[in-house]
């Protein structure tokens, strides 16, 4: 009994697989694949455009941060020189 059940399942799977392969090779299925692939490519292009904008913005932020750090260092250096000059005048 178990052998008949397994054989029936095997034959059913084989039939389903054969019909599935023929269905996947059909002209209508090919159109679906083409349209699906085209939609995925459009989505990729859109995402890449957004990624490029994000990278540009991150680059701008990093450049502004570097400029800010340079100004802060210059201010700190100027303050240190003023403190040294005031300390030297007290002696």
What is the pTM assigned to this prediction?
A: 0.50
Q: What is the full DSSP assignment across 24-72?
A: HTSHHHHHHHHHHHHHHHHHHHHHHHHHHHHHHHHHHHHHHHHHHHHHH
Q: Which domain holds residue 36?
A: 2-90
Predicted confidence (pLDDT) at residue 28 exceeds the cutoff of 90: no
Q: Give whichever of 7-11, 75-79, 83-87 has the largest mean pLDDT.
A: 75-79
pLDDT value for 84: 74
pLDDT band at 10 (very low <50, low <70, confident <90, very high): confident
Q: Domain count of the chain?
A: 1
What whole-number distance in Å separates Cα of residue 83 and Cα of residue 90? Answer: 11
């Amino acid at each position: 009994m178990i052998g008949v059940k397994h054989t029936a399942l095997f034959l059913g799977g084989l039939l389903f697989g054969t019909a599935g392969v023929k269905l996947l090779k059909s002209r209508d299925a090919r159109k679906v694949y083409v349209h699906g692939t085209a939609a995925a490519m459009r989505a990729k292009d859109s995402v890449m455009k957004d990624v490029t904008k994000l990278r540009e913005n991150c680059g701008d932020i990093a450049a502004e941060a570097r400029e800010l750090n340079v100004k802060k260092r210059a201010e700190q250096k100027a303050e240190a020189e003023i403190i040294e000059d005031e300390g030297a005048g007290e002696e």
